[in-house]
Structure formats: C-alpha cells, structure tokens
Amino acid sequence: MSSTTADFDVRKDDSLGLRIQHLLHSNPVLGPLAVLVVAIIAFSIVNGRFLTATNLSLVLQQVTVIATLALGQTLIILTAGIDLSAGAIAVFSSILMATFCVDAGMPGIVALLLGFACGTAMGAINGFLVTRMKLPPFIVTLGTLTIFFSLNSVVSNSETVRGTDMPGLMTWTGNSIPIGDFRLTYGSIIMLLLFGFFFYALGNTAWGKHVYATGDDSEAARLAGIQTNRVLFSVYTVAGLLYAIGGWILIGRLASASPNVGVEYNLDSITAVVLGGTSLFGGRGSVIGTLIGALIVGVFRNGLQLGGVEVVWQGFAIGLLVLVAVSLDQWIRKVRT
C-alpha cells in the first residue's frame, strides 16, 4: 500500500512539473514577469525609497539604452545567432552623428539620418558576412566589435563631444515629460514605441513568422520555401538601425557623445534577452520578454545599490540570474509535446 502511494505521489509531482514546463514553453514571458514582480516586492520591502516615482523613473531611464539594443539583439537571437557588436555600433553611430554636426556643420536632422544610415550599414555588413560568406555570427560580430570600436576611436580622436556643441535635436531624447514626480524621457517613449512595433511585426507579419521559423529550424524553413538568407540579412540590417537609434538615445542620456562608453553594452543586451526568456538556440521568445529582462537588470542593480551592496556583488547577482535563466531555458526546451 505504501509503495502504491509513493508511486502516485511521484507521478503527481512529475505531472505538476510537466504542466509547469508546458506552461513556460508556450508562455515564455511568464517566468521573467514573475521574477520582476518578486524583485520589485522584495526591494520595496528592503528600502522604502525604491517604489518612489523619482526612483522608478530613474530605473526606466537607466534601462532605456540597453533595452533598445536588446531589441535588436532579440531579433538576431531568435534566428539562433548572436551579436557582440551591438554596443560598438551604437557608440560609433553616436560619434558619427556628433561628428557630422560639429565638424561637418550639418543640420541636426541630416546628421541624425546619416547616423541611422551608417548604423544600418554596419548591421548589413554583419548580415553579409553571415549569409554570403557563411561565417559564424559569433566570429563575425566579435571581429566587427573590434573594428567598429577602433574606428570609433579614430573618428573621435578619443575625445568626447559635448551636448552643448550639438543641435538640440541630438540631445532631445534626454528631455523629459513630468508626470507628477515621475519623469518620462522622450528616449524612453521611443524605446517603448519600438517594442510595440516589433511586438506586432513578429506576431502578425510574414516576416515575423519567417524569423521564428528560421531560428527554430533553418533547413526546414528553407525546404518550406522561406528564403532564410534574406531573412537573416534583413534581421542583422534592422538590428543595426535599432543600435543606431540606441546611439541617439545614448547622446540624450549622457548629454554628450563619448567614445569611452559602451564596453559593457554587448553583454548587458544579451543578458536582457536571456533573462526575458528568449532561447539562445533560436525560434522561441518575445520582445516583451526582452523588455521585462531589461527591467529585471535595472531593478536588481538599482535595488542592490539602494541596499548598499557593492558594485562587484551587483555584477555577481546579475551573472547568477543569467545562469539560472539559461538552465531554465534548457529545461523548458526538453518539453515533450
């Protein structure tokens, strides 16, 4: 009798585990959302200042640039690729925009559009090397990471361009709209609009469905008639444009264009994507999850800072979260349909 009861309990536990596994597989946003809610509750208990409007607006401002870069990173990771040059493209684009304004004397709108075009071209270079030269995305973007950061130093002479020397349009993204004590920057609004647009595009257009299909099984997608190389090229190109927009937001955030920032942006963008539930193996994930992942990073860093935790241990906590997220992804991928 006791043996039968034990077997029943094991099957019951297995059934519960499978239900959770299936739930997270079909709704990858649920896990990150639960982590974010728990983190907000925990940090608000630890420090009463955490939930103030002023602090929450600061958290949103801090994650805006990373979230924008992570959006482009999400598109690439959905195709089972990865982009280590995201931060380099963003920073180089911001330097080019500032240089076009200050050194070439171009109007702000012209400099901005040229900066966007340059960022798009850098993304297209990555896409060309991946699709035409058949090089692994990791190797391609590792190489272009070094190239773009080097060109960044050459063009800027390693000097920061002050926001006061640029047209107001270049730093406009740093301006904010007061909502009581909460301050919503135009950069954050742009970031949220971009997430809304790509949430629709990935879920309701043929292009979005092709992105998921290419990441899930590239060969099967090709046999089904999807031009996978064209999809991959478009993804890297669009990501380059998003990184350039992130560079514009970065200028507003810093009130300057500095060649000495962005070293950690690559890993931070990947961290946001992974924490958001997007699979590093491609084919599964959501841009909403990425936004939540970026907020998790911002909430943890801000909450730990308010709690007096040293910066090195903040990095330790984020790294631990990434390992847990990847382990969870591996477990979810084993779901039996």
Predicted pLDDT at 190:
97
Q: How far is CA 39 from the centre of its chain?
A: 20
Low pLDDT (below 70) residues in the chain: 1-14, 17, 20-28, 329-330, 332-337
* Residue 327, token pair as written in the block: 């382990």
| pLDDT score for 335 | 57
Query: Residue 194: which of 52, 294, 315, 127 has the closest Cα?
Result: 294
For residues 57 and 210, what is the distance between their CA atoms, to the nearest angstrom? Answer: 36
CATH classification code of 49-335:
1.10.3470
Q: Torsion angle, CA of 325/331/334/335, rounded to 10 degrees? A: -90
Q: Could you tell me the maximum CA-CA distance found in the chain, to the nearest angstrom?
A: 87
> Rounded to two decimals, what is the model's pTM?
0.90
Number of residues written out for the chain: 337
What pLDDT digit, counting tens, does each position of 45-64 carry? 988 899 999 999 999 999 99
Give the pair of three-digit tokens for residue 321.
């979260």
3-class DSSP state for residue 264?
A: coil
The predicted pLDDT at position 262 comes to 84
Task: Look at residue 333 in the predicted model and tell me its pLDDT.
Answer: 61
Residue 89 has a pLDDT of: 97
Q: Per-residue DSSP letters for 43-62?
A: HHHH-TTTTSHHHHHHHHHH
3-state secondary structure of 177: strand
Cα first-last separation, the chain = 33
What was the pLDDT predicted at 329?
67
Domain positions in the chain: 49-335
- Cα–Cα nearest to 27, from 337, 332, 336, 334: 332
